């Protein structure tokens, strides 16, 4: 089988290996599709925290079960996705129902090798039934679950005005679930094509150019002077994260889905007088995965609309660096096998 290895920042190589032998407690998947996400791009750029090289990327997956222990609820031939966050099961986070932030977390494609290969072994307890969803929908379950978890952390409710900073795939996922939760949305980004996508495809009423010089005034106008009661960062950009503190209403919650390797800074007096809440949102839970699948089945979300580009696996090595080019107008790229 062939796998693609990120050998060092900016450098990929293909390697031929034997199809792995499945140990007990694992499932062997034939990979059908892998989504490209910000984590993969940051790893390629050399800016991904928690990362070491060489590494096989890829954790947004749809694959076919080729081999699995008898008696498992997933069957051979079933198309599935999986939860790519391998938790230990016994640390303080796992014991308190937060395996998504396990002390000993191993994320596929970050801490351990991911699924950018023709075949992939995964612990069978991490499998998620496909529920007859399309390959496209299954590949998008994981990023949608990230957005769902972030909105859950922010406790978005009817009456909230939610500012989502960043209209990439994770930001779009947050938009979906913030709207479902009853929030009124404003979305900010530097990319005009993505803002237009939010208007036309996501029915977002208020979009803001992050490069404009009157953002506070725009938000005051949109919120009748109150400012957003929820701010969600989905950029992972240090400058954007730091600026987000300026956009909070008194009593607001600020949730960071995006991840930055540097130190965030903010005015303590301004934060304190608002009695503001700062939250991080890491990964997602199985409950979030099931929430996403149920939402897709109910047709409250049509994830296929995000897919703008498809790249054959054999072409990915030479085309990966084009995925960040603004002129390509990429919303979501899929690697097909």
Q: Does 49 have pLDDT greater than 90?
A: no
Mean pLDDT of all residues in 119-126: 97
Mean pLDDT of all residues in 283-310: 97
Cα–Cα distance measured from residue 336 to residue 332, given in angstroms and rounded to the nearest whole number: 13
**Residue 337's pLDDT is what?**
98
**Alpha-carbon distance values, 263 to 155, 232, 271 (Å):** 25, 18, 16
Q: Does 50 have pLDDT greater than 90?
A: no
Cα–Cα distance measured from residue 165 to residue 185, given in angstroms and rounded to the nearest whole number: 11
Residue 261's pLDDT band, with cuts at 50, 70 and 90, is confident
At 183-242, the pLDDT tens digits run 999 999 999 999 999 999 999 999 999 999 999 999 999 999 999 999 999 999 999 999
Which residues in the chain belong to E strands, given as ranges? 2-8, 11-16, 26-35, 60-67, 79-82, 85-86, 106-107, 119-123, 127-128, 161-165, 184-189, 206-209, 230-233, 253-256, 277-280, 307-312, 332-336
Total-model pTM: 0.96
Phi and psi angles of residue 101, each rounded to the nearest 5 degrees, phi first: -125, 40
Among 40, 3, 35, 37, which residue's Cα sits nearest to residue 19? 3
Please give the mean pLDDT across all residues of the chain: 96
């Amino acid at each position: 089988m062939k796998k693609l290895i990120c050998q060092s920042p900016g450098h990929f190589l293909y390697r031929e290996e034997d199809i792995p032998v499945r140990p007990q407690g694992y499932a062997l998947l034939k990979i059908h599709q892998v989504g490209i996400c910000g984590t993969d791009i940051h790893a390629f750029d050399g800016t991904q925290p928690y990362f070491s090289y060489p590494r096989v990327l890829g954790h947004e997956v749809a694959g076919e079960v080729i081999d699995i222990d008898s008696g498992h609820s997933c069957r051979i031939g079933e198309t599935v996705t999986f939860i790519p966050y391998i938790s230990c099961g016994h640390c303080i986070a796992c014991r308190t129902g937060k395996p998504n932030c396990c002390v000993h977390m191993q994320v596929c494609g970050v801490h351990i090798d991911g699924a950018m290969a023709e075949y992939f072994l995964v612990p069978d307890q991490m499998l998620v039934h496909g529920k007859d969803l399309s390959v496209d929908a299954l590949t998008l379950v994981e990023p949608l679950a990230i957005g769902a978890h972030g909105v859950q952390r922010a406790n978005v409710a009817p009456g909230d005005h939610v500012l989502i900073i960043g209209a990439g795939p994770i930001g779009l996922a947050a938009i979906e679930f913030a709207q479902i939760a009853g929030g009124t949305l404003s979305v900010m980004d530097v990319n005009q094509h993505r803002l237009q996508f939010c208007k036309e495809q996501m029915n977002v009423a208020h979009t803001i150019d992050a490069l404009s010089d009157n953002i506070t005034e725009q938000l005051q106008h949109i919120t009748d002077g109150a400012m957003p009661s929820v701010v969600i960062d989905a950029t992972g950009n240090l400058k954007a994260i730091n600026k987000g503190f300026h956009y909070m209403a008194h009593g607001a919650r600020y949730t960071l889905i995006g991840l930055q390797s540097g130190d965030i800074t903010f005015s303590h007096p301004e934060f304190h007088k608002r009695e503001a809440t700062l939250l991080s949102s890491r990964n997602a839970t199985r409950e979030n995965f099931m929430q996403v699948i149920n939402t897709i089945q109910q047709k409250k979300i049509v994830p296929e609309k995000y897919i703008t580009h498809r790249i054959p696996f054999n072409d990915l090595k030479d085309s990966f660096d084009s995925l960040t080019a603004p002129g390509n107008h990429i919303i979501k790229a899929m690697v097909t096998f």
